């Protein structure tokens, strides 16, 4: 199959040598020919927005990285049951909503994460500095209360490497400490018998704040065998130790006793009836239960000259999953997964200004993480647990150290440098040793360096350009090592992917208009890709090389006091290089993603919001051979939200309709599905309605 590769064949490819040359010219020009930014201009920038995803605090306009922040309040109102609700309108981000709570939302940044059979891979996730990703790189968005984050910062490109393993990009969720005592109740309902209730209580007094949340979600599912039952508890305690030091305690309990799995469909079945469920779902009663508990403690100090933070966490995640096959062969590992995962970690950062007369901040960080998986497998006897077929303990240990230098070379030039060393050990101890199934114990380790460097040049208070380069890596997860196409045991042949990222970018804001544009290249050696995916069991391999080239553009324009327009466009050309799939597109990735949101506030007091959004995605290949594509789709959603206050009471009613035109489209694809079931259907028109009632004391 002949495929054009427009950027690389036309000489657009950027490499580290060229970037280094351009950077040196860039820096010398800044010194020789440019006047300094005035203090008033700098103040304007500082007042605009400060980003923290780079592990430093620098105004967005002066940060040499593709980093973007969106307030959750800007998104359409909703039930907050899917992480995609928080991530709309961010360039470079492809969120694949499966409409299947047994599999979780797939989150993709610049092509990283498409291989995820469930959950999130290749993307680091954090909530207020606490990692949501395990040390081996896997994460689940369903483990947190999605009502909590107030902002989302997304870091793309070379500087994601400062987060170490599997940092193709970083999603940094940020909450806010409540400042007033309050009680609130959120009630909502919708299509497919969706219903969600949330109760919240906050007590704030002097230097203490405590809060507790409970959320209950139920639905019959958009397809048969899609029923969901989920309950979440979250408690927080904040204490001001000193004027600059804060202590935060967190406790979370997410219990999902029933997550039915309707499975994906073949393209033929999808075209016949996208609302049907695969026959295997009924035969084997495919479903999952999850119990996720996590506790954390954070102590941080934000003084003017020195800043530090220490965080410690521990937790447990229990999963039982019934797959769509029996797994009865002695080496098949079973069709019922029983997993008990315990995890813990400590991270610490310390930053200071080593030179009093220079704007130079140096940060040191250390991350120590542990993960233990007690995994068993049983025969799936038509939806009931049968004989044992797997019994093992898997362990992952990760030890990382990092150094970050954030130096203002002049009032116009900022140089950001990050270096990180990572040491990861994987080990599996097998206990299921019987005739016909040998001892499958094994171990492997990875020692990797990551680095990134970038320069930002500020033409004036409203316009800047940046250039950045970096190298990172990505190890397979413990789950991805678990299976082989032939034979048994830990797939220790999987190597860590080595990636080089380069980008050029432009940022601007003028009055009510803000925008960011970037072009980038990503070359990856030994990229981790799906080899086969059959009935929920997925194996992986290393590709010889992959190449990603793309461009991103995002804008936000306050047209007037009553109208706001947000847009985000991503063009991504991602291809295999150097193997039997040379020139073919990487499966699971759309070449074009376009998001637009128009908001109208008819009254200046903002007591009413009307929003319309459009999401367009071009067709998506489902296999390495590119012989099958999910069709392109353009979907319209709309919502209206009120905001009314009577004394100390506030009520926020809302109504939302997704897929206004009742379009038939594919929400997500299963990559390299061996049995052909690669389409995960999106439902037709969905309505959701609810209200929030709160009182402040």
Q: Which has the minimum average pLDDT: 85-89, 486-490, 616-620?
A: 486-490
Confidence of residue 105 (pLDDT cuts 50, 70, 90): confident
Q: What is the structure's pLDDT at 5?
A: 36
- Which one of 2.40.170.20, 3.40.50.720, 3.40.605.10, 3.40.50.510 gives the CATH number of domain 6-696? 2.40.170.20
What are the extents of the domains in the chain? 6-696
Confidence of residue 99 (pLDDT cuts 50, 70, 90): very high
The H-or-E segment that residue 6 falls in is: helix 6-9
What pTM, to 2 d.p., does this model score? 0.89
Q: Per the structure block, which two tokens stand in for 587?
A: 């499966």
Q: What is the structure's pLDDT at 25?
A: 35
Contacts of 537-543 with C-beta under 8 Å, sequence gap 24+, read 537/323, 537/325, 537/483, 538/117, 538/480, 538/483, 539/483, 539/484, 539/485, 539/491, 540/115, 540/476, 540/480, 540/491, 540/494, 541/494, 542/494, 542/495, 542/497, 543/576, 543/579, 543/581
Pair 293, 316: CB distance under 8 Å = yes
Count CB-CB contacts under 10 A for residue 566.
Answer: 22
Q: What is the pLDDT of residues 255-299, one digit of tens each?
A: 999 999 999 999 999 999 999 999 999 999 999 999 999 999 999
Phi, psi for 8 (deg, rounded to 5): -65, -35
Q: What is the pLDDT of residues 14-66, one digit of tens each?
A: 443 333 333 333 333 333 333 344 333 433 333 345 556 556 677 889 999 99
- The percent of residues in the chain predicted with pLDDT above 70, rounded, is 91
Question: Diameter of the chain by CA atoms?
Answer: 78
Q: What is the pLDDT of residues 550-602, one digit of tens each?
A: 999 999 999 998 999 999 999 999 999 988 899 999 999 999 999 999 999 99
Question: Taking all residues of the chain, what is their mean pLDDT, rounded to a whole number?
Answer: 89
Q: What is the structure's pLDDT at 672?
A: 87
Pair 182, 696: CB distance under 8 Å = yes
Q: Which residues contact 310 (CB under 8 A, 6 or more apart)?
A: 298, 299, 300, 346, 347, 348
Q: Which residue has the higher pLDDT, 372 or 116?
A: 372
The H-or-E segment that residue 29 falls in is: helix 16-33
Q: Which residues contact 396 (CB under 8 A, 6 or more apart)?
A: 134, 135, 136, 369, 370, 371, 372, 424, 425, 426, 478
CA distance 480 to 394: 12
């Amino acid at each position: 199959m002949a495929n054009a590769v427009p950027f690389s064949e036309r000489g657009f490819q950027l490499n580290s040598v060229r970037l280094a040359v351009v950077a040196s010219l860039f820096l010398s020009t800044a010194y020789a020919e440019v006047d300094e930014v005035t203090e008033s201009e700098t103040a304007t920038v500082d007042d605009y927005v400060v980003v923290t995803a780079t592990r430093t605090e620098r105004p967005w306009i002066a940060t040499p990285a593709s980093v973007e922040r969106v307030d959750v309040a800007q998104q359409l109102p909703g039930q907050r049951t899917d992480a995609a609700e928080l991530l709309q309108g961010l360039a470079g981000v492809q969120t694949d909503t499966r409409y299947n709570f047994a599999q979780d939302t797939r989150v993709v940044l610049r092509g990283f994460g498409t291989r995820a059979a469930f959950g999130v891979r290749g993307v680091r996730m954090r909530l207020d500095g606490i990692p949501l990703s395990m040390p081996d790189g896997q994460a689940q968005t369903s483990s947190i209360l999605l009502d909590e984050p107030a902002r989302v910062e997304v870091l793309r490109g070379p500087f994601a490497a400062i987060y170490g393993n599997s940092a193709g990009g970083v999603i940094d969720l940020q909450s806010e400490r409540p400042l007033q005592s309050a009680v609130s109740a959120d009630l909502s309902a919708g299509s497919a018998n969706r219903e969600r209730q949330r109760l919240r209580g906050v007590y704030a007094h002097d230097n203490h704040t405590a809060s507790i949340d409970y959320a209950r979600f139920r639905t019959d599912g958009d397809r048969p065998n899609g029923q969901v039952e989920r309950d979440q508890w979250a408690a927080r305690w904040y204490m001001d130790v000193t004027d600059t030091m804060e202590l935060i305690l967190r406790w979370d309990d997410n219990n999902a006793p029933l997550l039915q799995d309707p499975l994906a469909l073949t393209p033929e079945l999808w075209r016949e009836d996208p609302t049907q469920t695969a026959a295997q779902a009924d035969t084997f009663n495919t479903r999952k239960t999850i119990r996720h508990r996590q506790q954390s403690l954070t102590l941080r100090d934000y003084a003017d000259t020195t800043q530090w933070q220490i965080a410690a966490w521990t937790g447990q995640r229990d999963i039982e999953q019934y797959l769509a096959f029996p797994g009865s062969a002695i080496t098949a590992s079973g069709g019922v997964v029983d997993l008990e995962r315990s995890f813990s970690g400590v991270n610490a950062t310390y930053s200071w200004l080593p030179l009093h007369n220079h704007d130079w901040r140096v940060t040191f960080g250390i991350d120590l993480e542990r993960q233990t998986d007690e995994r068993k497998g049983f025969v799936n006897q038509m939806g009931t647990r049968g004989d044992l077929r797997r019994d093992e303990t898997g362990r992952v240990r990760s030890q990382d150290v990092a150094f970050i230098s954030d130096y203002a070379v002049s009032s116009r030039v900022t140089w950001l440098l990050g270096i990180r060393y990572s040491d990861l050990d994987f080990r599996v101890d097998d206990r299921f040793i019987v005739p016909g199934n040998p001892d499958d114990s094994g171990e492997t380790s990875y020692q990797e360096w990551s680095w990134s460097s970038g320069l930002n040049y500020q033409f004036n208070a409203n316009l800047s350009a940046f250039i950045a380069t970096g190298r990172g890596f990505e190890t397979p997860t413990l789950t991805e090592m678990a299976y082989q196409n032939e034979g048994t045991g830990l797939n220790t042949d999987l190597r860590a992917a080595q990636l080089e990222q380069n980008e050029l970018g432009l940022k601007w804001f003028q009055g009510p208009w803000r925008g960011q544009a970037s072009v980038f290249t990503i070359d990856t050696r030994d990229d981790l890709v799906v080899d086969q995916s059959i009935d929920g069991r997925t194996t992986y391999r290393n590709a010889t090389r992959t190449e990603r080239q793309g461009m991103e553009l995002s804008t936000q324009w306050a047209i007037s006091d009553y109208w706001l327009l947000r847009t985000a466009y991503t063009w991504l050309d991602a291809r295999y290089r150097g193997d039997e799939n040379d020139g073919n597109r990487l499966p699971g990735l759309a070449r074009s993603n376009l998001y637009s949101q128009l908001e109208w506030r008819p009254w200046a007091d903002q007591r009413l919001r009307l929003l319309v959004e459009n999401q367009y995605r071009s067709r998506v290949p489902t296999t390495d051979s590119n012989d099958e594509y999910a069709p392109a789709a353009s979907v319209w959603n709309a919502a209206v939200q009120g905001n009314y206050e009577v004394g100390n009471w506030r009520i926020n009613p809302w109504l939302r309709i997704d897929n206004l035109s009742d379009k038939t489209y594919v929400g997500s694809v299963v990559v390299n599905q061996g049995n052909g079931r690669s389409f995960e259907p999106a439902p037709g028109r969905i309505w959701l309605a609810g209200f929030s009632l709160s009182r402040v004391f």
